[in-house]
Structure formats: C-alpha cells, structure tokens
Amino acid sequence: MRKALLSLLAVAALLLVTVVVRMTPVSAVAAEPYSYKNVRIDGGGFVPGVVFNPTERNLIYARTDIGGAYRWNQSSKSWTPLLDWVGWDKWGWNGVVSLATDPVETNRVYAAAGMYTNDWDPNNGAILRSTNKGDTWQVSPLPFKLGGNMPGRGMGEALSVDPNKNSVLYFGTPNGNGLWRSTDYGATWAKVASFPNPGNYAQDPSDPNGYLNHRPGVVWVTYDPRSSAKGAATRTIYVGVADKDNTVYRTTDAGATWERLPGQPTGYLAHKGVLDTANGYLFIATSDTGGPYDGGKGDVWRYATATGTWTQVSPIPSSSADDYFGYSGLTVDRQDPGTLMVATQISWWPDVIFFRSTDSGATWTRVWDFTSYPNRSFRYKMDVSQVPWLTFGTNPQPPEVTPKLGWMTESLEIDPFDSDRMMYGTGATVYGTEDLTRWDTGGQFTIRPMARGLEETAVLDLISPPSGAPLVSALGDIGGFRHADLDAVPPMMFTAPNFTSTTSLDYAERNPSVMARAGNFTDADRPNDSHVAFSTDGGANWFQGTEPGGINEGGTVAAAADGSRFVWAPKGVAVHYSVGFGNSWQQSQGLPTGAIVESDRVNPMKFYGYSGGRLYVSTNGGATFTATAATGLPTASVHFKAVPGAEGDIWLAGDTGMYRSTDSGASFTKLPNITAAVNVGFGKAAPGRTYMALYAVATIGGVPGLYRSDDTGASWIRINDDQHQWGNMGEALTGDPRVYGRVYLGTNGRGIIYGTSTGSTPTVTPTVTPTVTPTVTPTVTPTVTPTTGASCTATYAQTNQWPGGFQATITIKNTGPVPITGWKVTWTFAGDQKITQLWSGTHTQPAQTVTVSNAGYNGGLQPNATTSFGFTATYSGTNIQPTTLTCTPS
C-alpha cells in the first residue's frame, strides 16, 4: 500500500468516538440470553505486541492499541478476545500498552491498560491480572494514565514477570512516572525510587493537541535469569528508556541500585532489548523516533554481558545513505542460539525489510533484495487467500507489490519452541509463517494472515437493508465492506473510489439496491476523486459522483426513499443535494454547516437535519430546510433515524436520553427512565407485532447496556451482560429487518458484533389492526411522439482511467426550441470496452454499440437545459474514446 493510502493509519489512534455519556456500573445478567459473535473481517488494526510464553508451548497473547488483548487457540488457529468485559465507564482499558505472561505459573497473565495519557481518556490506567490465562481478571488501579494508543506504543515490553521469582513484576511507565515494581503478583505497586531516569523523549514537546508531546518513558524490561537461583529475585535486569543519550540501564542487585550501561550508543532510542542467554548477548534495536508511524535512522547493537563490549551489528548502519529507517521488531531463536531477526522501523517504500542472522549479527541476509531495479527477489511468498482484502485492491508498480509484507512491524517474534513459526504484527493484521527456516536453505517460506478471531476495526456506521447482503459497514482505516456472509471474510473492501475511512452509509428504503457512502482521504493525494460514492447493486460495485469544492472529509449522507436523490453534509462544508447520482450538486438552504442528515424512509422528498439541538425538515428533496418548533433536545452525542414504513416517525438518541417524534420532528416526546442514549436502530418486528423492534445503546433504569424493545419503547430488556460490553460501543447500531432479534453493533476497536437471541421467541397476541404500507404505483412517463423541432446533443467526457478500466460522463443538452420528455443516446466503441455499471439511465450493449435511455427522473428537459449519466467500464489494449454520439429526443 502506498504511504499516502496509509496516512490515515497514523490517525488510527484518533478514531476514538468521543461521547460524553458517563456510564455507571452495570448489572451482572442480561434480561434475555443472546449469543454474540464478530462479523468476520480478520484484523483491521495495529497489533503492536505479540507475546509468546517461554515455558508453555502454544501459549501466545496479542495486544492491540484500541481493541484489547487476545489469547491464541492452537486447535482452531484463532484468537480469543479477553477484555470484552471492559465497559463504558473504563473504555480506555481497551488500549493495552504492555502485556506479560508468567513463565513460572503459566496461568498468570498481566496487562497494562489505558488508552490515552491526555484528557481524551478520563480514567487512570490499571494493571489487569489474571490467574486463568485471561478468562477472568482482577484490577490494580494506577495513580496515572497509560498510553496504549499514544506514540511509542510499539516499544516494549514494559511490563514483565521475574522468571526466577514470579511474584515480582516490573513495569516501565510514561510521562515522568518512572519504573514501578510489584512483589505480590501485581496486586500492589510502588515506584522504584532508585531508578534514575524516567525518559525525556517526546516526538513534539510543544504539540498543543496533547498527543505528540507524550513521553513514552521507560519502555522495556529484560531479565538475565542466569544472575539468580530459582526462587530468588533476578539480580541483573536491563531496562530501556526513551532517552537518546541514556537509553539502557542495568541493575545487578535486584533493583536496589541502577546505572547507565557503560559504553552504550547514543543518538537513538532502544525500541527493544532482547537477551540471548546461550551466547551472553544483549541485543538492542534502535530508531530515531518512538514510532510506530515513522523512523528514519537507527542501528542494531550487541552487548557482550561477560566483557561489557558493545558491537554495532546493524544490517545497514545509520551512517549509510542506504539507511532510511530505524529498527524495531527484534527476536532471538531460542531453539537455535545465534539466530536472530530484526525489522525496519519504518520502511514505507517499497516495503518493510526483515533481516536474519545466524551468527549473532555478524552477517545478515534480507527477506527481499533488489535485482535489476525496479525488480526484486523474495525469500518469501505471501498467501492472503483467507483474507483477500489485505491486497487493499491496489495494483502497484514495481518495486512495490501487493499485498505488502507489512508496516509498523514493532513486534516480530520467533516461537521459542519452534524455529519454523514466526508471528509479527502490522498496522492491519497479524502475519505469520510455519516454515521460516526455509529462509536458510534457499527456499521460499510462506507468510499467511494469522488473525482469525482478532477483530480490531473502528466501526463508524452500519446499514442492514431489507434485501441483498444482510450488512454493509463503514469502517475507519480500511473503508468498509459488503458482508454477504457474516461468518466469512469479505473478499474486498470498498474500492473505486477507496476511502481510508467511510464516515456514513445509507440506502434507499424503497429501492435498497441504491446506496451511498461518504468518506475521508487526503485530497492532495487524489485530487480527481470524490468523497461520495454510489451503488445501484446493493454495494457490490460503486462509482463516484462529482463534489462541491473544499471537501476533505465525508461527513454524513442520506438517500431518498426511492433513490432518486441524495443530501450530503460533508464535514466543514455547506450541506448540498443532488438529483440523481451526484452528477451535480446544489447547496441546500436553511441547514447549518456541520449538521447530520437522514432521510425519511417513506417520502422521497423529505429529509431531516440536526444541529445544535434543533431538528430541521426539508419537504422539497433537500433544497431547503426549516427548523421545527421542537426544543429541549440534546446537543451532544446525537444519533437519530427515521423508521421504515412510517412517514415522519423519528427516534433520537443523545446525552440526555431518548426522544420520539411522530410528526416529522414538529414535536418530540422524551421516553421515561432513559437518562442517556448513545444510538438507536430498528430491526424486524417481534412475532405478532407490527412495529419494528427497537435497539438502543443507552442507560435505562440506571443501567448502561444494549437494549431491545418490542413494544414501541414502552418497555426495554437488556440483551448484553457484564462479560459483553465492548468498551465505548454504539457509534454504529442497527437491527436486521429480516431476522427478528438480530442486532449489529459497532465498536471502537473490537470490530462489528452481531447478536442473536437464544431465548424463546415471544408470543404476542395482536391488539391492533396491523398497519399496512400501501403499494405505490410508480409514475410512468408516457412515450411522446417527437415534436417538430425537438433536438438534443450528447457530449462524451472520460473522467478517470486506471489499468483495465475507466469512467466516463455523458452530458445531454436540449438544443431545440421545445421541451423534451425523454432522450436516447447511442454510440459505438472502437475496441472491446464493456460497461460494467451505469447510473442515471438504462442501457443495452449487445456488442460494441451502446444505447442509453433516460431514467425516470431525468428525461424531461426544457430548452437549453442539461442532464447527464455516467458509467464505469473495462477494456484491454487501447481505450479509444468514441467521437460520434447520436441523441434522439422524445
């Protein structure tokens, strides 16, 4: 993937959904039993740490920056989430800055939890400790914050268990808090007063946003188990500090005194410190920044513990012009002393580089080499057939390839029991191999995703249409997917256009094959692309529209109930509407910039907007909006939606509760007993009911949770429990209109959760006559014999082209003196061009000749008026544009 495409990964840290709702502790049991699973994507976010237990085979953990921690299951080769019990009140504990597995009592595991060290996270950090491999946890609060999603989070591990006396743990902390120690299995902690250096490095000490001025502090702890007998605290311990002049410290008296390790290199930060006890070498991998997104210079050093001698063993030294990266991921093969590997920190282009040495760093080989530029040879091959979206839909030119070997590879680990197995984390997944030693014999080893069960996406919107794929998702960093099978990895994220983050989705309620999505990317990288896209086949294929000027973020988008028009509220830009698929946009009047927009699900001319505690309504397709008289509505954390099948029926969730309107927002009624609400969604009605089931992430009766109502909000049942809280859940929420009791829940770092009721289906005797949505007979424009003098022209313009495909727009103009009620455009391609998708018209293409007729809404044109349609197509060879188009009016 190009660095530009990955620029938003640098903001993966910032995808936290800021919600001001403050939740209280929850009750222990759900009111109705539910089964919860992830909608499979496999990966999707940064995995800064993979940790192998050194004494129990196949006991492996992974930590993420916003998605909690996981344990490996060897039988299924999948990961089990361990922190789903973390709720809204402590959501930051889903950021795990370090993880330690006990080498003595292997059932013990520890996690240092806390997401942000600035005021984004209201809570201090904590040490979470478990005696059953993470199935349940106890909490030791800390008096300061931790930065599981702050700069430098890939350094480590800062939390560690003494291999000789496992009741002793050390923990390196950020922002001047120094080194801490526990002597009672992590239950209580105290600062090590004798440790001299808390670390002074910050990426940007003057950052006014409170992010880049974070100081990673004390970043790793490594024991020399040879220095003590079993049962006695290890005497010799090495500690890494984020200080370019003093980056390694040592104690030889079990932490009573410490010294700066003599003779150490300066000018760089030691991201990792790994000890080869067989040969008596401490290796450090250094970089000029804390990462994980950058690093331009660095070295690898070897310290002989017996003699105190430092030797530079960099595969490419920092003094070389060929070194444009630092070093980070570092591992030693415990089965083959002297074999070690290190990864670049960071080599965006053309790819990350792994280096391998079998002689303690004296010589190295590369995982890939340049042959004759731009060609490369590879010691590996990649198989992403189980997670095919990891190609990101790209088709790069050499020397780049897809999929990439990785990026942000802070953790690179050889299995201590198996020289052939290696795992490493990237900004998108966990990769691994089970035949690594083929590297040394001249063969190619195979790298595959090893991320099943590890779901780390930030979910920004979800839709579940009444037909087609059951779910379509809007995600941070990887755009989103059409989920035809909830239990299978989708083949590809949204492309053409590709959004780094999709911020909004909608579908036409009465024509659900029509969809729209809005999203983010950097305009400077792709100046000809739009931040809005459309689909006419339920999200299987997409095409982009035009856009007004000045847009760099997607905001929200709404589709008319019949798919004939759209209203778009890009972030920071005035609200606009388009008749058709974004061929042109007009500014809406009366709705403030920054509003969120939704459509009525029955009336295609009615749209709603919300801003500053006021609801706005448009009855003319988004052209003008008028504020309703409703007051007293929430001003923060608002999500609102209109109910399918009932015009003007709106539900609104916000920080002060839940509200309902049945008159298009003219008035609202606040629901009792709901003190705060994050989001609301609708699903199939319960048996015997006519009104859709309601789903809410809310605080009801003082208990925060995920709720369902089968009786129009008169009563609610909680459908999650204490073990299923998923942090700050609810930015995205919808029910399934086809399956009663199924709910889709978006999380900020634990992916998409879907729940299915496992309780008995309620039996309800209807007490009212079911409301029937009338069948609407579409208006058909009659065929009219052409009037004398009627004429039109068609102008062809290619708007985009890529290898094997292109996009074009045809503009039709009424050039006659009288109105026309329809048009037909015909042309012949010179080559094998084949239209794959066309919008704002209907077409036939039996061979090279294409005939396009107007859609129902754009056939009528006054004299000199114009309209347009567009399409995407494939080709091979040369893409010659047609020069002659025939336009026939009717």
Contact between 129 and 110 (Cβ < 8 Å): yes
**Can you tell me the distance from the alpha carbon of 315 to that of 329, in angstroms, rounded to the nearest whole number?**
13
List, in order, residues 6 or more apart from 625 with CB less than 8 Å away: 575, 588, 589, 590, 591, 607, 609, 616, 617, 618
Q: Among 3, 11, 132, 152, which Cα is nearest to 520's?
A: 11
Kindly list the distances between the CA atom of residue 713 and the CA atoms of 3, 660, 665, in Å, as whole numbers in the listed order.
Answer: 48, 9, 17
List, in order, residues 6 or more apart from 871 with CB less than 8 Å away: 543, 807, 808, 835, 836, 837, 838, 839, 843
Structure-token pair, residue 797: 């313009």
Would you call 359 a catalytic residue per the annotation? no
Phi/psi of residue 438, nearest 5 degrees: -60, -25
Buried/exposed 766-778: b ≥16 CB within 10 Å, e otherwise:
eeeeeeeeeeeee
Kindly list the distances between the CA atom of residue 215 and the CA atoms of 99, 175, 769, in Å, as whole numbers in the listed order.
Answer: 19, 5, 65
Contact between 45 and 748 (Cβ < 8 Å): no
Question: What are the E-state strand segments in 436-590?
Answer: 445-449, 459-463, 471-475, 482-483, 501-508, 511-520, 532-535, 543-544, 556-559, 565-569, 576-579, 586-587
Would you call 477 a catalytic residue per the annotation? yes
Structure-token pair, residue 483: 């989920």
Identify residue 638 by its one-letter amino acid code: V
Angular region, 214: left φ>0, alpha ψ -120 to 50, beta rest: beta
Identify residue 793 by its one-letter amino acid code: T
DSSP 413: E
- Which one from 84, 102, 323, 477 is the annotated catalytic residue? 477
- Which one from 65, 351, 415, 649 is the annotated catalytic residue? 65
Mapping DSSP to helix (H, G, I), strand (E, B) and coil, where does residue 523 land? coil
Tally Cβ neighbours within 10 Å of residue 663.
Answer: 14
Contact between 419 and 358 (Cβ < 8 Å): no
Beta bridge partners of 313: none
| Token pair 């066309």: residue | 838
Report angle CA 652, 639, 653 to the nearest 5 degrees: 40
**Can you tell me the distance from the alpha carbon of 713 to that of 392, in angstroms, rounded to the nearest whole number?**
42
Longest dimension (CA), the chain: 104
**Can you tell me the distance from the alpha carbon of 110 to that of 614, in angstroms, rounded to the nearest whole number?**
47
User: For strand 805-814 and strand 866-874, is the pairing parallel, antiparallel, or unpaired?
Assistant: antiparallel
Buried/exposed 685-711: b ≥16 CB within 10 Å, e otherwise:
bbeebebbbbbbbbbbeeebbbbbbbe
Structure-token pair, residue 768: 């009212």
Kindly list the distances between the CA atom of residue 91 and the CA atoms of 16, 116, 833, in Å, as whole numbers in the listed order.
Answer: 10, 11, 52
User: For strand 326-332 and strand 340-345, is the pairing parallel, antiparallel, or unpaired?
Assistant: antiparallel
**Can you tell me the distance from the alpha carbon of 649 to that of 601, in angstroms, rounded to the nearest whole number?**
9
Contact between 804 and 874 (Cβ < 8 Å): yes
Residues annotated as catalytic are 65, 477
